[in-house]
Structure 1
Amino acid sequence: METRKPTHVVLVSCPGLGHLIPVIELAKRFVLHHNFKVTILAVTSQTSRAETQILNSALTSSLFHFIDIPSPDITALVAQNDTVFTRLCVVMREAKIAIRSILSEITPRPSALIVDIFSTEAIPIARELNIISYVFVASHAWMLALVIYSPVLDELVEGQYVDQKEPLKIPGCKPVQPEDVIEPMLDRNDRQYKEYLAIGNGFLQSDGVLVNTWEELQREELEALREGGLLSEALNMKIPVYAVGPLVRQPELETNSSSESLVKWLDEQPSQSVVYVSFGSGGTLSSEQMRELAWGLELSEQRFLWVVRAPIEKNADAAFFTTGSSGIDEVAKYLPEGFVSRTNEVGLLVPEWAQQVTILGHRAIGGFLTHCGWGSTLESVTNGVPLIAWPLYAEQRMNAALLAEELGVAVRHRVLPIKKVVRREEIAEMVKESVKSNRVRERMKEVQQSGMKALSEGGSSYVALSKIANTIAG
């Protein structure tokens, strides 16, 4: 009897850990639960220690084949002031040649191509090669709804979105407050807005969409997106939408002196007493905001572990394509005088990067002050750690609204940090509330259990991925 060859799926990721990590975790589930053969095509920037570590782990993985596509040179195609969003779109457009070449050479032909949101221009390549294609959204269903409805909003709304007096309505979903729109919608005259609209249209060319959320968390938005739902009807959208999350990475402890000393420090702290502070692998604060945050942590009188990097004044995502190399002595110059010595017994400063999943899983962590990247959010949710929402860029303002106002798992500031400096007194208040609020902690535990159940055998996300696998395998 002839042995059937394993089904082969190719996944495509743009630069950035917020995209690469969930793509890798999706790949693992296809391999471990469905015995698929998986190839990951990752366009990388290799500009941070975090990305280098993830890449090294992926390149040596025995679970899947990992192909690192060096980021194309786009210096002649972008302006100096073009945003990270624009640069990612241009990078992935230029990478299409390499993606097409690799797909064409794979024999036998892959059964499916799954791309992230910045790679939707690769979908026509899949059609040419007669390969089924999906888009994998590393974020949540409410964001997906806004992205694919934005070409309609572009025709309906006059003037800038942020100047609107009423919330932006999405059929079948919660409306979006003008100040919470996705970064490319902040200025309709900017190049990134046109790139963003093209992404919204690109989704509809695929054979289906996978979202890193779960049924029980966002039933309303998922039903609106599916056939018969209000949003689906408004867009004449016929493609299926699958909730397959929460997909998060597992702890991988580095065996070096800095990681061991970090864990040792946490081991010495009482349970749920430490606030973890991190703005992701690419987030930065202004020098003024950095000083206020330091004062706020000190005033809160709570233990803290702060992943700190030198400030950049203009763009909150300015570290995305740059290599971080600041040590504590360099960073300390931007902190209040005497802060390091005064907080030495209750605080730990870690330069540039730390092993976030390991930290969030430690019993000492009682709260997480975060930029609200969806990956970081899900890592906190799956560990049951309450959040302090501090959005900086991308869809993070939407995330903060979802987490604080609808799900009740986060506390947030009174005024968006992008609008004004958050002062030390408010920061101290939020930090204390995140650690001491039983209401937020209990609600987070409920969401944590819901997410874990969705991923387990027979759960909603497990079943959804099985349906996709069956479709791909034919």
Structure 2
Amino acid sequence: MKPHVALLASPGMGHVIPVLELGKRLSTHHNLHVTVFVVACDNSLQQTSQLLNSTNHENLLDILLLRSGDISGLVDSDASIVTKILVMMRVSLSSLRSAISAMKCRPTALIVDLFGTEAMAVADEFNMLKYVFITTNAWYVATSIYAATVDKKVLDEHTNQKLPLKIPGCTPVRFEDTIEPLLYRNDAVFYWYIRLGMDMTTADGILVNTWEDLESKSLGALRDTKMLGRIAKAPVYPIGPLARPVGPPPVSRKDAVLDWLDKQPTESVIYVSFGSGGTLPAKQMIELAWGLEQSQQRFIWVVRPPSDHDASGSYLTADNGSAGFSDYLPDGFLKRTHNVGLVVPMWAPQAQILGHPSVGGFLSHCGWNSTLESIMNGVAMVAWPLYAEQKMNAAMLTEELRVAIRSKVWPSERTVERDEIEMMVRRIMVDKEGLAIRNRVKQMKNSAIKASSEGGSSYNSLSQVAVDCETSLQCLKAMAQGG
């Protein structure tokens, strides 16, 4: 009998996609029986179901949807996305417990994403191993664990005096790059973030969507008992990159997007997208349109209605609003750029676009999923972070890894004007600097492939998790026989 592992994914493509890819990796590479629980809100239920069907077409995984239902009576309508997701996860715990209890072959381990740490109590109830899967990078893990244990004075100096947060063994986090929850010290999201850091240290292991060559510094600090290892306690397993592979495109979108790319020269197109939930203010959308037009470079731009109040405004919504998208673009923009650009409403097959030979750049919000998809396809980036830990990701990409460029000031701080956008697009697409960046990211792509291949660092790391699950199963069998 195969060891049985359960995975829990919180709402949102940024969590569901890597959890599904982890499940597929455990099933195909390590011969585990995998059940994936996906918490879905009613607003995005159709979108989530479509993703699950397309991802699991080979039936490698058992997938169960846990519908969170209507939470409007439990959370304010203007609450943050993080708060809403946490409430959804809490409401879903009883369904998760019932589903596991009803299984004939109960899992030996439960792997939860970063919003699901409360579910580790369910793992304890059923005597299961418990792991946290951090769908972003090791620097984020280090920051979270350190922030949860450091003296309040240190956090005060970071958030009030705007001093860098110095994390033992890691690159310091500048105030302007810091993760959002640390900025809201009196908000519930801050206390969730601190609890997350504490919860991680109680797990049987921390799985991270990164690899050794990408983040050797942060990973070393998390393992070093004289640095972060003394407080991290749980072993850290870099198992990435886990991102969507370039597979067959959705038929409904093939003619509109990929066929257009087939007609463009190699590495001549910049892809512009802000993830599954990112939105821009109306004024910034106008400037971005003008910047793309002035650059005279080919582009694909995934456009959503603007939001002047919430950069994550589309995170838990369905794909609506595609009609009339020209209403919030400059007059005549579509007509003037129809020979060089393609504007796509709401959604595009991103993995297939980034894997297309005609794409040479990616103007990205720097969500970790998108970052990994870009690296895995050898595509250089223009960093445009919006929310969550995206500024930290962008700082890593531009300054440490040097596979991206950025604006002078983060777009969340002020409007980036058209002339600067034009300059950034041309820098990444046609200047010598862009060529050097593309060469670096292609080297990183090779590193990612090596880490994930059999015998690579991430492959071996995940193998250890599989071995632990097998050992736990044998122990349970022995206990049952002894009883």
SS in 2 for 1:223: helix
Aligned-pair CA distance for 1:74: 2.0
Structure 2: state its 5+ residue gaps: 472-483
User: 1:123 is matched with which residue?
Assistant: 120
User: 1:182 is matched with which residue?
Assistant: 179
Indicate which of 191, 195, 200 corresponds to 2:192.
Answer: 195
Aligned-pair CA distance for 1:170: 0.9
Indicate which of 340, 359, 374 corresponds to 1:380.
Answer: 374
Alignment of 1:139 with 2:133, yes or no, is no
What is the RMSD of the two structures over their aligned residues, measured on CA atoms? 1.6
Runs of 4+, deviation exceeding 3 Å:
46-52, 58-61, 158-163, 252-258
- Aligned counterparts of 1:119 and 1:390: Cα–Cα separation in 2: 28
Aligned-pair CA distance for 1:163: 3.6
Larger deviation, residues 182-191 vs 169-178: 182-191
Aligned-pair CA distance for 1:160: 7.5
What aligned pairs does 1:405-420 form with structure 2 within 5 A after superposition? 405-420=399-414
Q: Which amino acid aligns with 2:129?
A: I
What aligned pairs does 1:63-212 form with structure 2 within 5 A after superposition? 63-153=60-150, 155-157=152-154, 159=156, 161-212=158-209
SS in 2 for 1:118: coil
Q: Work out whether residues 23 and 61 of structure 2, in 8 Å CA contact, stay in contact via their aligned partners in 1.
A: yes
- Aligned counterparts of 2:310 and 2:284: Cα–Cα separation in 1: 13
Alignment of 1:402 with 2:396, yes or no, is yes
Indicate which of 285, 288, 303 corresponds to 1:290.
Answer: 285
Q: Deviations over 1:384-430 (max 9, x none)?
A: 00001000011100000000000000001110111100000111111
- Aligned counterparts of 1:376 and 1:434: Cα–Cα separation in 2: 17
Task: Flag the 1:70–1:257 CA change in 2: closer, same or farther, 3 A.
Answer: closer
Alignment of 1:262 with 2:266, yes or no, is no
Aligned-pair CA distance for 1:42: 0.4
Alignment of 1:344 with 2:329, yes or no, is no
Indicate which of 3, 7, 13 corresponds to 1:7.
Answer: 3
User: 1:452 is matched with which residue?
Assistant: 449
Q: Work out whether residues 40 and 65 of structure 2, in 8 Å CA contact, stay in contact via their aligned partners in 1.
A: yes
Aligned-pair CA distance for 1:299: 0.8
User: 2:349 is matched with which residue?
Assistant: 355
Aligned-pair CA distance for 1:61: 4.4
Q: Deviations over 1:165-222 (max 9, x none)?
A: 4210111111100111112122212221112111111111210000000011111111
User: 1:16 is matched with which residue?
Assistant: 12
What aligned pairs does 1:208-357 form with structure 2 within 5 A after superposition? 208-233=205-230, 235=231, 237-327=232-322, 330-357=324-351
Q: Work out whether residues 172 and 229 of structure 1, in 8 Å CA contact, stay in contact via their aligned partners in 2.
A: no
User: 2:418 is matched with which residue?
Assistant: 424
Task: Flag the 1:229–1:377 CA change in 2: closer, same or farther, 3 A.
Answer: farther
SS in 1 for 2:115: helix
Alignment of 1:28 with 2:18, yes or no, is no
Aligned-pair CA distance for 1:102: 1.3
Task: Flag the 1:340–1:162 CA change in 2: closer, same or farther, 3 A.
Answer: farther
Q: Work out whether residues 181 and 189 of structure 2, in 8 Å CA contact, stay in contact via their aligned partners in 1.
A: yes
- Aligned counterparts of 1:449 and 1:191: Cα–Cα separation in 2: 41
Residues matched between the structures, number: 467
Aligned-pair CA distance for 1:157: 2.8
Q: Which amino acid aligns with 1:44?
A: A
SS in 1 for 2:363: strand
SS in 2 for 1:298: helix
- Aligned counterparts of 1:261 and 1:382: Cα–Cα separation in 2: 24
- Aligned counterparts of 1:206 and 1:319: Cα–Cα separation in 2: 32
- Aligned counterparts of 1:338 and 1:429: Cα–Cα separation in 2: 22
Q: Work out whether residues 298 and 340 of structure 2, in 8 Å CA contact, stay in contact via their aligned partners in 1.
A: yes
Q: Work out whether residues 155 and 165 of structure 2, in 8 Å CA contact, stay in contact via their aligned partners in 1.
A: no
Q: Which amino acid aligns with 1:385?
A: V
Task: Flag the 1:13–1:412 CA change in 2: closer, same or farther, 3 A.
Answer: same
Indicate which of 36, 39, 62 corresponds to 1:40.
Answer: 36
- Aligned counterparts of 2:4 and 2:454: Cα–Cα separation in 1: 23
User: 2:478 is matched with which residue?
Assistant: none
Aligned-pair CA distance for 1:256: 3.4
- Aligned counterparts of 1:383 and 1:254: Cα–Cα separation in 2: 16
- Aligned counterparts of 2:52 and 2:35: Cα–Cα separation in 1: 14
Task: Flag the 1:104–1:269 CA change in 2: closer, same or farther, 3 A.
Answer: same
Structure 1: state its 5+ residue gaps: none
- Aligned counterparts of 1:397 and 1:42: Cα–Cα separation in 2: 27
Aligned-pair CA distance for 1:252: 4.0
Q: Which amino acid aligns with 1:266?
A: L
- Aligned counterparts of 1:430 and 1:360: Cα–Cα separation in 2: 19
Q: Work out whether residues 46 and 52 of structure 1, in 8 Å CA contact, stay in contact via their aligned partners in 2.
A: no
